[in-house]
């Protein structure tokens, strides 16, 4: 791996913004996290991938605001993360930067951001701990499965699935909605019960879809 000029520039910008946030908010312990992500980002080429990495940086503010029950800035953080989730794919298509690496990076970064977010709001008491564990498993298990396949010498084609995109959207909408309502000092009402039903179902659907996709690709490779 080698340094990417665009990656270095983006990392410096993100690092400055992150350090400024940490100093202003008093959460200086997160500076280490920003440094780690910035160092990794310096080796990642492509504007689209740098947009994706924004969610990794945002994981620190999401965790801080959620644990401190600062729901207004938390809702803004989730909204910004959602915008980057929509924007990175558009940038990749417009600039012709769609790649297997980008397809792998996106769910990993989603898992980092949403993992920090759900751990924070579970600690803050906004959702039950078991639901946070479901969200973490939604991103951790596919990552582990992909790692196992790579260790076995297989190189699965990494791309978004419809169920995966839908489940990520539902998690952002439902849990982001809870944060927004808390920010407005309103009762989340049916959002929490809906999340407790919809998110596990969407997670199972994602696992099933991934399982069938990998099985189909394995058969094609064996008969090709």
Residue 175 clears pLDDT 80, i.e. is over it: yes
CA distance 51 to 69: 27
Question: What 8-state DSSP symbol labels residue 30?
Answer: G
Taking the domains of the chain in order of start, what are their residue ranges? 1-45, 54-223
Mean pLDDT of 17-44: 94
Instruction: Residue 78: count other Cβ atoms within 10 Å of its Cβ.
Output: 28
Q: What angle do CA 106, 71, 38 make, to 5 degrees?
A: 35
Note the pLDDT of residue 162.
74
Q: Does residue 18 contact residue 30 with C-beta atoms inside 8 Å?
A: yes
Note the pLDDT of residue 222.
37
Residue 66 burial (10 A CB sphere; 0-12, 13-18, 19+): buried
Mean pLDDT of 86-97: 86
Binned at pLDDT 50, 70 and 90, residue 88 comes out as confident
Percent of residues, the chain, with pLDDT higher than 70: 87
CA distance 222 to 224: 6
Note the pLDDT of residue 127.
93
Of residues 139 and 212, the one with the higher pLDDT is 139
Instruction: Residue 103: count other Cβ atoms within 10 Å of its Cβ.
Output: 14
Report whether CATH 1.20.120.1760 matches the domain 54-223.
yes
Model pLDDT for residues 139-156, shown as the tens digit of each residue:
888 777 666 555 555 555
């Amino acid at each position: 791996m080698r340094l990417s000029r665009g990656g270095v520039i983006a990392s410096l910008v993100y690092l400055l913004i992150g350090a400024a946030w940490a100093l202003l908010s008093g959460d200086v312990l997160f500076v280490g996290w920003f440094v780690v992500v910035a160092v990794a980002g310096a080796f990642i080429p492509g504007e689209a991938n740098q947009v994706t990495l924004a969610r990794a940086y945002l994981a620190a503010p999401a965790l801080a605001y959620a644990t401190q029950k600062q729901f207004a800035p938390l809702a803004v953080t989730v909204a910004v993360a959602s915008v980057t989730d929509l924007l990175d794919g558009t940038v990749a298509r417009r600039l012709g930067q769609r790649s297997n690496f980008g397809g792998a990076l996106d769910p990993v970064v989603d898992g980092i951001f949403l993992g920090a977010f759900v751990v924070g709001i579970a600690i803050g008491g906004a959702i039950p701990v078991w639901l946070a564990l479901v969200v973490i498993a939604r991103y951790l298990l596919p990552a582990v499965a992909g790692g196992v396949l790579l260790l076995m010498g297989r190189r699965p084609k990494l791309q978004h699935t419809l169920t995966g995109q839908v489940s990520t959207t539902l998690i952002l909408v439902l849990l982001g909605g809870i944060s927004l309502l808390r920010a407005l000092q309103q009762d989340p009402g049916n959002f929490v019960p809906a999340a407790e039903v919809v998110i596990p179902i969407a997670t199972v659907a994602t696992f099933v879809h991934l399982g069938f996709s990998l099985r189909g690709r394995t058969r094609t490779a064996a008969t090709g």
